Homo-oligomer: A and B are copies of this chain.
């Protein structure tokens, strides 16, 4: 039964193979951690030999940085899409917090924590972390700026407010590997939302998850609950 050990070589285009390798490494990074990205581990994932990974990434550190960038970058696109088609900044920010506070986000928190520590030793990763930090900050700042322009938010400095929100999120993310699995206090869990509402001059509760999400991905409709100023 050769299905378990198919010696048959499958030859792919360099671009496809490289993308495959990065995707597999990103998956390992999200589920097991960046230090589990080894030539052998990724090769096993793809059913190839370790030497092949070395061929595409002569320095293993570069694969680690690339995998981190892929995982965190795609999460950012889902969390804070570059083009917000029609929906109000307030609703987008609420969606952001809904996702960033759920348990599904724990893997991302772990990855940030992982990367920020590991970048102490790996220059390539450190550089990538800097790039992603800027990307996340810029994306959130743009959202806040739009909200200010639309009259929904009120803040003196959108950049500082964005950083402030991200700092609180990071601070809570630090606890993701804790014994109790995070904080049990709901007031602590709500800290990022509370910070945003305070700094943006929003009434308490504005950014909480809506109980009944409007018909999934309705493209054009204006949110009925949008409250301006």
Contact = CB atoms under 8 A, between A and B. Distances in A.
A72 B174 CA distance: 16
Interface in A41-94: none
SS class, residues of chain A in contact with chain B: helix
Contacts of A118: 117
Identical copies of this chain, number: 2
A179 B110 contact: no
Range, interface on chain A: 35 or more
A180 B133 CA distance: 12
Contacts of A98: none
Contact of A117 (B117, B166, B183): B117
Tell which of A117, A126, A129 has the most Cβ of chain B within 10 Å.
A117
Contact of A168 (B121, B129, B167): B167
Given A160-B185, A163-B188, 6 more contacts: A33-B120, A113-B174, A116-B117, A157-B187, A166-B171, A171-B171
